[in-house]
């Protein structure tokens, strides 16, 4: 069993590339299933394939077909302990665009639950979910802004200074849109319009914030009456074109596109009085929030490192555990066979006494070798110890017979 990770993320790949390989949950699950024993984690900031027993070239090809181009210099490949450590950092929010953001843990859980992983992937993902929960409960790394949505609100506040009275058009009424609306409203902004493919969904959210629900087709008619547009749909194509922006409008008009694939036409940035920011532009906001949370990030990294060491020890023990089990099974087989030879000549009390004594002798005799083998498992000598035990006691020969 070899744990392997191949992926790309916001650290190297620009949003125009990431959006081509971003998959919704069903498509990500289908890709993983097509590869074999695999799990696909696809978010706005990363698309990663975790697998065991799959040809790496097959995984690379799958991602390159989505991208429509070679991914040399963009893909990262990690194996075994390094892959596990990366997953633990991802689940803990330490590898996110906004460190400590809360959505990623649910996304990791969703990817895991959508797959049918083998023993190795099942173990590492369950452990990742556990460390993600620990980091959220034992550290304060998730303090504001702890999500892309809240970072978008912070960016809007930086541009306008005071958001009081600023009118907002929110495109997308999903969870990310809801979080963005809450953050902007808490900063004094007015949620004037909420546009969504399903108007009823937009109406429910608009009612909470005192805004008006509109269809996506009506966005252009509302752009002249807002100061801020934040878009976060899951649409596969652009939702707002540069031609939709009216010449007569409130100035400046500030667009934040936190969707991947992007919702807003990049040509909007060329219009006079229009300012367009995408998800990669949020990095500056994130950098300003890091200074006050470095100690919490350090604590979170420590927790992740502890879990990574636990995983490493478990992986190493796989070399010696079968040998220990075989040794104990062989010793018990010999003990049982020898007792059977004299059992007919003993009373019930004598048989129980001899059974207890021989069992204790066996346990005491094997106790120290078992401890030493487990200790060796966490070092480079683990496999050598296991091979030596199999050879000395003829365990492989017994297995063949």
Residues annotated as part of the active site: 44
Report which secondary-structure segment, H or E, holds 284: helix 283-290
Report which secondary-structure segment, H or E, holds 367: helix 348-377
Omega within 30 of 0 (cis) for the link into 145: yes
For residues 232, 235, 241, 245, the Cα torsion angle rounded to the nearest 10 degrees is -40
Report which secondary-structure segment, H or E, holds 190: strand 190-196
Within 8 A by CB and 6+ apart from 190, the residues are 165, 166, 167, 168, 210, 211
What are the C-alpha distances in Å from 131 to residues 3, 89, 270, 302, 306? Answer: 18, 9, 44, 11, 9
Contact status, residue 191 vs residue 181, Cβ threshold 8 Å? yes
Closest CA relative to residue 187, chosen from 195, 175, 179, 197: 179
Contact status, residue 177 vs residue 152, Cβ threshold 8 Å? no
Q: How far is the C-alpha of 222 from the C-alpha of 245, rounded, in Å?
A: 9
Structure tokens at 41: 């984690």
């Amino acid at each position: 069993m070899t744990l392997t990770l191949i992926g790309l993320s916001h650290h190297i790949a620009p949003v125009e590339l990431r959006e081509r390989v971003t998959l919704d949950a069903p498509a990500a699950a289908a890709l993983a299933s097509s590869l074999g024993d695999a799990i696909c984690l696809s978010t706005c900031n990363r698309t990663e394939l975790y697998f065991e027993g799959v040809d790496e070239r097959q995984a690379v090809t799958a991602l390159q077909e989505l991208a429509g181009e070679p991914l040399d210099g963009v893909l990262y490949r990690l194996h075994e302990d390094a892959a596990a450590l990366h997953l633990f950092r991802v689940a803990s929010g330490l590898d996110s665009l906004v460190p400590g953001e809360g959505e990623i843990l649910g996304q990791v859980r969703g990817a895991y639950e959508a797959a049918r992983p083998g023993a190795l992937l099942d173990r590492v993902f369950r452990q990742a979910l556990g460390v993600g929960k620990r980091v959220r409960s034992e550290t304060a790394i998730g303090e504001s802004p702890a999500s892309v949505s809240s970072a978008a609100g912070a960016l809007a506040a930086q541009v306008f200074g005071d958001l009081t009275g600023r009118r907002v058009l929110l495109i997308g009424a999903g969870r990310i849109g809801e979080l963005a609306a809450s953050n902007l409203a808490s900063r004094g902004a007015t949620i004037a319009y909420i546009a969504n493919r399903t108007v009823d969904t937009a109406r429910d959210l608009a009612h909470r914030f005192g805004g008006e629900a509109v269809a996506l087709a009506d966005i252009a008619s509302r752009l002249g009456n807002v100061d801020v547009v934040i878009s976060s749909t899951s649409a596969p194509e652009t939702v707002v074109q540069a031609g939709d922006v009216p010449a007569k409008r409130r100035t400046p008009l500030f667009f934040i596109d936190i969707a991947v694939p992007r919702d807003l036409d990049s040509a909007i940035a060329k219009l006079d009085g229009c300012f367009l920011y995408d998800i990669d532009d949020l990095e500056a906001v994130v950098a300003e929030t890091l200074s006050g949370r470095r100690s919490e990030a350090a604590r979170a990294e420590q927790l992740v490192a502890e879990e990574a060491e636990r995983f490493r020890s478990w992986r190493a023990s796989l070399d010696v555990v079968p040998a220990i089990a075989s040794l104990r099974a062989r010793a018990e087989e010999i003990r049982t066979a020898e007792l059977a030879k004299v059992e007919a000549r003993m009373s019930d009390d004598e048989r129980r006494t001899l059974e207890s004594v021989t069992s204790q002798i066996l346990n005491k005799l094997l106790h120290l070798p078992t401890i030493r083998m487990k200790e060796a498992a966490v070092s480079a000598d683990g496999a050598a110890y296991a091979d030596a035990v199999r050879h000395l006691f003829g365990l492989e020969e017994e297995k063949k017979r």
